[in-house]
Structure 1
Amino acid sequence: MTYAIVETGGKQMRVEPGRFYDIELLAADPGATYTLDQVLLVSHDDEVLVGQPIIQDATIEGMILSHRRDRKVLVYKMRPKKKTRKKRGHRQSLTRFLVCSINLNGQVIAEADAMEIEDLLAGYEASWAETDTLSVASEPEAAATAVAEPEEPAAEEAEVEEPAAVAEAEAEEAEVEEPAAIAEAEAEEAEVEEPATEGEEE
């Protein structure tokens, strides 16, 4: 039996060709090939090769099957007699990684059966097609959003014009109020002068 111990995502894992593993999230699309080069140990034909800390020219070739999330972990915190209760959930993002071969010094020392890989990939190809369809369908929406954005400057122009319109309206009101103010002042002067004229007649 041939196997290897590889480090990925800050964890060490034993891997064998033809099997898939859920590891920490990798920056790759589903269906893409990926290489792990942090190989710590390789066991082949009853010979064990240990790295210090890693084995030079040893790699793990594989394929990204899917990205998924682990089961939810609940975290509950309580402080007695303080009326403090906190309940939070967390789901870790994972990548399902299929090991295709173990390579050492540029040679394949262990490889998965091609028929087994084809049978395994058959169930994932449909999900890859759905992901591509969703990404293509979202592109027109993004383009429509980008075209609609330049309408904002028109609103800014309207906001700039409002103070000028308000100033003109205030000026018109002032012009209308001036004759009324003059008429009121004349009426008050007339009321003040009337008693004086009556005294003179006496």
Structure 2
Amino acid sequence: MNKYAIIDVGGKQLRVEQGRFYDVRHLAPVQHTLTPNEKISINRVLLIRHGSSVNLGYPWLDDAAVKGRILHGCFEKKLVIQRIQSKTKNRRTFGYREKMTRFVVDSIHFAGENLNRS
């Protein structure tokens, strides 16, 4: 597909396209819980490609936004951590699963127009 955007969300950079879903962590502030089908708008857009034109931000594009909605919360694969003390031969294994939020991209906007309509 020749229409995509690169956004900064959850401490990572994602290449997003319309109609696809993505799993991110730290999508909302700690005080706000996201519910399914809640609409979101991400303004930290680093790059937009539309056809043969590429728009770069420094660091972000001022008049760009990626709009979507929350699908549901999910968990990442379990991260297993092992601690071993060599002299006493003590071993301890524990782990955790990181909370993720799955969202789908509905549209990419730049300069007041929806890029996915054309």
Same fold (TM over 0.5): yes
Residue 20 (1) aligns with residue 26 (2): no
Tell me the residue number matched to 2:68: 62
Runs of 4+ in 1 over 2 A off after TM superposition: none
Kindly tell me: are residues 58 and 38 of structure 1, through their superposed partners in 2, closer, same or farther at Cα, counting changes over 3 Å? same
| Map 1:115-154 → 2, pairs under 5 A | none
- Post-superposition offset of 1:83: 2.8
> Which residue of structure 2 aligns with residue 117 of structure 1?
none
**Which TM-score applies when normalising by structure 1?**
0.53
Q: Is the 8 A contact 1:60 1:102 kept in 2?
A: yes
Q: Distance in 1 between the 2:65 and 2:18 partners? A: 12
Q: Partner amino acid for 1:17?
A: Q
Runs of 5+ consecutive residues of structure 1 not aligned to the other structure: 112-202
Unaligned runs of 5+ in 2: 29-33
Q: How does 1:1-202 map to 2 (within 5 A)?
A: 1-27=2-28, 28-110=34-116
Instruction: Please identify which structure carries the higher helix content.
Output: 1
Q: Is the 8 A contact 1:25 1:67 kept in 2?
A: no
| Distance in 2 separating the partners of 1:73 and 1:46 | 41
Aligned pairs, number? 111
TM-score, normalisation: structure 2: 0.89
**C-alpha deviation, 1:30, in angstroms:** 0.9
Structure with more relative contact order (C-alpha pairs < 8 Å, separation 6 or more): 2
Aligned-residue RMSD, C-alpha: 1.1
How much has 1:35 moved relative to structure 2? Answer: 0.6
Larger radius of gyration: 1
Letter of the structure 1 residue corresponding to residue 109 of structure 2: N
Alpha-carbon distance in structure 2 between the residues aligned to 1:46 and 1:84: 59
Q: Which has the higher strand share?
A: 2
Partners of 2:96 and 2:78 in 1: how far apart?
5
CA distance in 1, matches of 2:75, 2:102: 10
Q: Is the Cα–Cα contact under 8 Å of residues 3 and 43 in structure 1 kept in the other structure?
A: yes
